[in-house]
Amino acid sequence: MPRLLVCCLLSLTVLLSAPGTAHADAIRDGQWMLDALDLETAHTLSTGEGVTIGLVDTGVNPDHPDLVGNVDAGMATWDDGQDGLIDVHGHGTAMASLAVGHGNGEDNDKGVLGAAPGARILSAGIMDAANLEEAEAGGSWFGDAEVAPAVRWLADNGADIILMSISGDFGPTVAEAVRYAAVDKDVLVVACSGNIDPHGERVRAPANYDEALAVAGTDSTGGAWDGATIGPTVDLAAPAANVVVADYQGGYVDYYGTSNSAAIVAGVAALLLSLWPDMSREDLTWRLTRTAVDAGEPGRDDAFGHGVIDPVAALTKVIEPPTDRPDADVNPAPIGHLKANPSSLTTITTLVVGGGAMLAVVWTVFIGFTLNRRRTRTAVASPVVSTGPPPFQQTPHSPPFPRERPPSDSNLSGPRHWP
């Protein structure tokens, strides 16, 4: 059976830095998503600690300074895949950084900060160097034979969330695997809506599955990114354009695509699961969508879904429950653990907005326990040190700043791209 041609959801456009040459403050300052989503405030409430995000992608380089210690060995669908801890393309490392990147430097104030810097990635590598060579020659990237077992393995080995920043016309085995993860294992599956490309403008699998949370993209103005595929299955939107990510060879690059959007939403979901470990997939989806900021046409629309993800609101706002579930399921008590240990003091800040003024009410509480995760995870191996950068080489672009929005007809252009 021929393998499927998989649509790439993320395009590398500009090389921002090489190891040792970047002005690291500029990298963090270039992360417009941090201010747009108020992630600094969200991180005072939760960092995603205790949550595992399973990543179905090209593998991850665990030695990037912004990821060290946050990536666990998983599996690979190819020989010499180092349990998902080698990245032959760069896409997987980029997605990991947006989801769980912790930055670097003495105070972790340099490099890429992800949506959930306290969470972990469990990597499932689905593309090897032979796949890359074939794909760049116009062939297929990967198909059901790689994706389906990766999803099932992650669901069976401790993933609380599964991130799928891929898109394609997959067959029934991938649909069955996603349903298994979501329905049977209660794992939230987050998928990107896709990029407009030569294959068309429709939302494809897994984002068109009922069991997946589909995420489209925004730009730095808050508008819909014009390179995203949109449609009735879109649930949410998040930053897609001109997003700084960690490069698999050690520096930083700019990416455009809804792959970014899905990775960010997966990280935000981890913030909630860290605070409320027993929250079900359905209740988690309800909170994420019902606390989103409405954008575009009033109400749900094809470009934004229910709206733009709002991490702080998702962590703090009281919402109306669905008719078939009790209020406590979607509005649980706001307690969790933030770097908790038996002698630690944890400060939780609740923001109350009224009459145009913001009142910060701070409770300082002793936390003498760590909440149990909602499911028992199978132990995974310790991260394996990668053997060095893969053979694929990037072409530097100059100058690295400013990073400009590429023309809408070239959103998949660049020295290399996610097909």
Kindly name the residue from 64, 91, 306, 417 that is annotated as catalytic: 91
What's the token pair of residue 363?
A: 């409770």
Kindly name the residue from 46, 193, 259, 261 that is annotated as catalytic: 259
Backbone phi, psi, residue 417, to 5°: -150, 155
Kindly name the residue from 11, 43, 46, 57 that is annotated as catalytic: 57
Query: In 3D, which of 227, 136, 215, 192 has the Cα closest to residue 411?
Result: 227
Task: Assess whether 259 carries a catalytic annotation.
Answer: yes
Query: In 3D, which of 60, 159, 165, 77 has the Cα closest to residue 374?
Result: 159
Instruction: Tell me the C-alpha to C-alpha distance, in Å, between residue 190 and each of 92, 208, 209.
Output: 15, 11, 11
Spatial neighbors of 98 by CB under 8 A, at least 6 apart, are 112, 114, 115, 243, 245, 260, 263, 264, 267
Question: What span, in angstroms and rounded, lies between the C-alpha atoms of 164 and 209?
Answer: 12
Amino acid at 251: G
Helices (H), 180-280: 258-275
Task: Assess whether 57 carries a catalytic annotation.
Answer: yes
Longest dimension (CA), the chain: 63
**Element (DSSP H or E) covering residue 238:** strand 236-239
Question: What span, in angstroms and rounded, lies between the C-alpha atoms of 272 and 336?
Answer: 9
Query: In 3D, which of 73, 70, 147, 160 has the Cα closest to residue 108?
Result: 70
Task: Assess whether 23 carries a catalytic annotation.
Answer: no
β-bridge mates for residue 359, sequence order: 352
Tell me which residues are annotated as active site.
Answer: 57, 91, 259
